[in-house]
Amino acid sequence: MLHSVVTKQQGQSADGQYVCRVRLYIVVPLALLILPAVVEFVWLVRANVELNSAAARAAEVAKVGGTPDQLRASLSVSCDRIDWRRVTFRISRQSADDLTHGSTAWRVLGVSGPQNDAMPGEQIRVEVGYSHQLLVGHLSGFFLGADESNQIPLEARAEVLRR
């Protein structure tokens, strides 16, 4: 009787090990597929936050009369983790149209002396684009919507009124 109890416990132990192995064989590959996508998503969110922060800082510089060159310098200084070779930006201004009670078309922000050429009360828009390169693009690019070069386009925009 004692021998049969020991045998059953050993048999149950072997079945338990089998179940653990099956679970391990299912969970580990799924984790290896999901983990790179989670890491990529975290890096993507971080880049998007930095890009939005840089656009807001550049808009603040434009609000007090900063020139387009000063805005570009503030963009590059505020984000040290972004590869600035893949960044595009457009800085434009728009004024109110008194005749139609609307707004004029957006125009490129220029320079007038030591400041930008926007008049007080005009709206200034800073648009920043960035092509985020995925680290493990072939594994997670499908889930995150990457293009064929494993890059995801990010965009940020900030608008302020010129003082």
**pTM, two decimal places:** 0.78
Nearest 5°: CA angle at 125, between 101 and 158?
Answer: 120
Mind listing the pLDDT tens digit of every residue in the chain (163 residues)? Answer: 444 444 444 444 566 677 888 888 898 988 887 887 788 889 999 999 999 999 999 999 999 999 999 998 888 776 777 888 888 989 999 988 777 778 889 999 999 999 999 999 999 999 999 999 988 767 777 777 888 888 999 999 999 999 8
- Domain positions in the chain are 2-161
CA count, 13 A, side-chain hemisphere, 103: 10
Q: Which residue has the tokens 């387009």?
A: 68
